[in-house]
Amino acid sequence: MATETAINKRPEDMVTRAEHTRNRPHYNPNVDILETKDELLVIAEMPGMDPGDVDVHFENGMLTIHGHVRERQPEATNYLLREYGVGDFHRSFEVSEAIKADGIAADYADGLLMLHLPKTEAVKPRKITVRTK
């Protein structure tokens, strides 16, 4: 059911990296992209996010996810071990024009951002009825 034109990820050597102007870490969240007959579903791991700190944009065929994880403890906290990063999450994907931009919806729960990208009617599979004469 997958189509080659749904979402294109550029090969690593072709990806243009954004220049960051903030002096904090930037992370690429792990992402799964699933295709059903009605939509593309993008699931991004973004733990520790406040939904108000997540921005999703779709413009000129480019889907961009950006979020910021705030500090969880005051700076004066004496950490015994600190592995969980604080900073910005960012991913971008080229998306086919076969998506209804005004129907894109986003949900956030349990550290997962789920983006629902509905397909246009023209690209949805349809059953053709065979008639007899």
Q: What is the DSSP string of 15-73?
A: PPPPPP-SSS-EE---EEEEE-SSEEEEEEE-TT--GGGEEEEEETTEEEEEEEPPPSS
The count of domains in the chain is: 1
53 lies in a domain? yes
Predicted pLDDT at 2: 47
For 7, other C-beta atoms within 10 Å of its C-beta total 19
Which amino acid is present at 95?
V
61 lies in a domain? yes
Q: What global pTM score does this model have? A: 0.71
124 versus 2: the higher-pLDDT residue is 124
47 lies in a domain? yes
CB burial of residue 101 (10 Å; 0-12, 13-18, 19+):
middle
44 lies in a domain? yes
Kindly state the average pLDDT of the residues 112-120.
Answer: 93
Predicted pLDDT at 74: 66
Predicted pLDDT at 31: 94
CATH number at residue 52: 2.60.40.790
Q: Give the DSSP H/E element, type plus range, for residue 92.
A: strand 88-95
129 lies in a domain? no
Q: How confident is the model at residue 60 (pLDDT cuts 50, 70, 90)?
A: confident
61 versus 43: the higher-pLDDT residue is 43
Kindly state the average pLDDT of the residues 86-110.
Answer: 88
Say if residues 26 and 69 touch (Cβ distance below 8 Å).
Answer: no
Kindly state the average pLDDT of the residues 18-40.
Answer: 79
Output the furthest CA–CA distance in the chain (Å, rounded).
82
24 lies in a domain? no
Domain of residue 108: give its range.
33-71+83-120
